[in-house]
């Protein structure tokens, strides 16, 4: 596999409220993230509780913008609040 050259890096930190939370929802989020994020150069951390998601995402600007757009339309959570966004 060919290495991608990522030069523009961005991070986004947000919180949201799960619309329904159980281990199946969490496993689905983690499975999808583990499949898609590495090939797009995205890393991150998901902190979760029954009533809160806190996520930190970092990677190429275009990939983060695309992923965050998908997150905004994801029906598994609501009340999304972006806490921080920065480019490096």
Predicted pLDDT of residue 50: 84
**Distances in Å between the alpha carbon of 60 and those of 29, 33, 53, 69, 88?**
20, 15, 22, 14, 10
pLDDT score for 4: 57
H/E stretch holding 67: helix 61-72
* Mean pLDDT of all residues in 43-62: 95
Q: What is the pLDDT of residues 67-86, one digit of tens each?
A: 999 999 999 999 999 999 99
42 pLDDT above the threshold of 80 = yes
- Looking at every residue in the chain, the average pLDDT score rounds to 92
Tokens of residue 75, six digits: 């029906």
pLDDT band of 5, cuts 50, 70, 90: low
Q: Which residues pair with 72 in a beta bridge?
A: none
Q: What is the pTM of this model?
A: 0.87
CB 4 within 8 A of CB 47: no
């Amino acid at each position: 596999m060919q290495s991608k050259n990522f030069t523009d890096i961005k991070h986004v930190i947000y919180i949201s409220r799960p619309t329904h939370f159980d281990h199946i929802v969490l496993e689905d989020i983690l499975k999808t993230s583990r499949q898609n994020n590495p090939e797009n150069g995205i890393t991150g951390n998901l902190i979760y509780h029954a009533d809160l998601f806190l996520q930190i995402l970092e990677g190429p600007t275009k990939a983060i913008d695309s992923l965050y757009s998908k997150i905004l339309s994801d029906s598994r959570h609501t009340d999304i609040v972006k806490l921080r966004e920065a480019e490096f």
